[in-house]
């Protein structure tokens, strides 16, 4: 049976990224992302909840996130959900879910400008007024075929 594991999140970094290196000298960065959800309850009152998500990126993505991101920075990430298990120092089994970032995009910029494309994405994106818009990588002029 086929599976599908793809996550898209837009949120703010909860802490400064922490860069480290694997024994193979591959860069790895860990950071937290806070994603807000707003809705109106049955009683008519506005409500909000925040989901805190641990994220990890590798290679050039890790270096760029470490270089340009700080706590509070808004980031759009695309990746996959991974499940990590380990044995703690006290001998107990521990586990948690984490997002392994495959591509990402800076949103807003330091001076509030448009976002910059980063990573190995298959589409280009622009962020204007906190809205993310996607454009196909290769659009043929005059081609009326819908690509799905």
Tens of pLDDT along 92-103? 999 999 999 999
The CA-based angle 40-41-46, given to 5 degrees, is 45
pTM over 0.85: no
Tens of pLDDT along 119-134? 443 333 333 333 333 3
Residues 42, 38: Cα–Cα separation, whole Å:
13
pLDDT at 122: 32
Q: What is the mean pLDDT of the chain?
A: 80
> Domains of the chain (ranges plus CATH)?
7-38+47-135 (2.40.50.140)
Q: Which residues pair with 57 in a beta bridge?
A: 29
pLDDT at 8: 97
pLDDT band at residue 117, thresholds of 50, 70 and 90? Answer: very low
For residue 52, CA distances in Å to 40, 87, 97, 99, 111 come to 21, 23, 11, 11, 26
pLDDT at 121: 38
Contacts of 1 (CB under 8 A, 6+ apart): none
Cα of first residue to Cα of last residue in the chain, in angstroms, is 22
For residue 77, CA distances in Å to 51, 87, 89, 136, 140 come to 15, 29, 32, 18, 28
118 vs 80, higher pLDDT: 80
pLDDT at 89: 94
CB 28 within 8 A of CB 34: no
CB 98 within 8 A of CB 54: yes
pLDDT band at residue 108, thresholds of 50, 70 and 90? Answer: confident
Tens of pLDDT along 52-92? 999 999 999 999 999 999 999 999 999 999 999 999 999 99
pLDDT at 109: 63
Residues 83, 138: Cα–Cα separation, whole Å:
35
């Amino acid at each position: 049976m086929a599976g599908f594991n793809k996550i898209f999140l837009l949120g703010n970094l909860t802490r400064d990224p922490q860069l480290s290196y694997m024994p193979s000298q591959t860069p790895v960065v860990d950071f937290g992302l806070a994603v807000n959800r707003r809705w109106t309850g049955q009683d008519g009152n506005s409500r909000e909840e925040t989901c805190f998500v641990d994220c990890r990126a590798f290679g050039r993505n890790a270096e760029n996130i470490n270089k340009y991101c700080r706590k509070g920075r808004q980031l759009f990430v695309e990746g996959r959900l991974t499940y990590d298990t380990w044995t703690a120092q006290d001998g107990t089994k521990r586990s948690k879910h984490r997002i392994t970032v495959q591509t990402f995009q800076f949103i807003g910029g330091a001076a509030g400008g448009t976002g910059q494309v980063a990573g190995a994405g298959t589409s280009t994106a622009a962020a204007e007024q906190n809205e993310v818009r996607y454009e196909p990588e290769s659009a043929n002029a005059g081609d009326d075929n819908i690509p799905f």
